Every structure is written in structure tokens, then in C-alpha cells.
Amino acid sequence: MGCLKKIIIKIFVIAGLVAFFFFGGADLIGIKYYEYTNPPREELIAQSADFGDFSGVSSDYYLSRSLNFMGYRKFNVTYLPTRQKITILDLKDKNIIKPQDFQTKEVDKKIDDVLKNFKDSVVTLENLEITNRGVIYAKNKAIPYVNFKSSVKNIPFRTVEGMIAAYDSKNTSTKFCLNWFKDKKQCPTQSENTTKIIVSMRNANRYNQQISTDFIKSIKF
């Protein structure tokens, strides 16, 4: 009797999956995912106030967001003329990397420690070399950064160049629940100060620091 029950359950599960795909369930998920990650620009700016005020960012920069990446909130930017990408990650834990670390070479060690967490990934950076250090003044805030050059693990003869910057901001905006089948609803959130890092990189000799600098300068933190 137990075996028959298991068989019946499997049949219902299979039938449910077939019905799900037959009636466009996969397409519905795809639509909902796109709507969440690529909402209207004004809506995205309002919902991403934790990262900063992006209302002054040029339309040459396409803004989007991702589902949580390894527990981190992720904001995405693409500079449309050249397709250079910029990512902002909310690290939550201020002990990972802090803006103050950029005042000394402590940041070099912190970056190495972060990369070690991804050492077993299929693709990650290795042999990272800091090539420059500086500060970008964005309206009322100083954003420290480093430029780097690195090889890419498991991709022979591939070298990338880029930038890592950091700043603190308070998470006080309203978050929105992600629900595939219902309208978004407001989720309660607690106010907390967290560190965000800005990362941009491209193949060596194609990275343009000015694109990153102009983007950061246009944000009100």
C-alpha cells in the first residue's frame, strides 16, 4: 500500500509539472523576474534609495537590479555606449571592507580575503595587483577607490582591469517583497548603516575609469 501511495504521489507531481509548463508557468516566472529586475527607471530609483540617489545619473547608464547574490543585495549598471558594467553590492557586514581601509594598504589584504572566499568558483580573479589609489568626490561625499589588474582563474591569457570603491550608507528605504504570483507589497525593514562596494572591470586595455568616475559623481549619497 505504501509503494502504491508513493507511485500515485509521483504521478501527481509529474502531472503538475507538465501542466505548469503546458500552461505557460515558465513564461510567467520569466516575465515576473524581468519585471522585478528591470522595473521602470523612476520606480527602481525610488526603491533603491538605500544605495544612493540615482536621479541625477545620465540615461546613458542603464539601471537594473538582481535577486540577492550570495546573500548580498546587488544593483547593476551598464554604460550603454561601450557596455562597461558597474555593480554595487551591499555587504551588510562592515568588517568585510570599510571605506577607512582604503586609507592604508589594509584594503589590499581585505580584497585578498574576499577573493579567497571564491577560490573554488569556476571563474574568479587571481594574482590581483593594485595599480592606483584615489578618491572620487561625489557631491557631498568622498568615495575612496583602488584600481587593479588581475588574471582570471581557468581562463588562460585573460587579464582584466577595473576599480573597487566603497562607501557607507544607511538602509532606511522601504524594501519590496518579491512574490511571483501577487502584487508587490511593502516589507518592514530596520534602519542600519552598511558598507556598499562599487566594482567595475573589463578586459585589459578596455576598461575606462572615466565612465566609473562620472557615474559615481552623479550619485547623491
Summarised one tens digit per residue, pLDDT across range 69-99 is: 566 788 999 999 999 999 998 887 667 888 9
Residue closest to 90 by CA, chosen among 181, 199, 187: 199
As a whole number of angstroms, the distance between CA 216 and CA 138 comes to 6
As a whole number of angstroms, the distance between CA 214 and CA 209 comes to 9
Residue closest to 84 by CA, chosen among 190, 186, 209: 209
pLDDT digits (tens, 9 = 90+) for 162-208: 999 999 988 764 444 544 444 444 554 556 788 899 999 999 889 99
DSSP category for residue 174: P
End-to-end Cα spacing for the chain: 65
pLDDT confidence of 43, banded at 50, 70, 90? very high
Tell me the three state secondary structure of residue 22.
helix
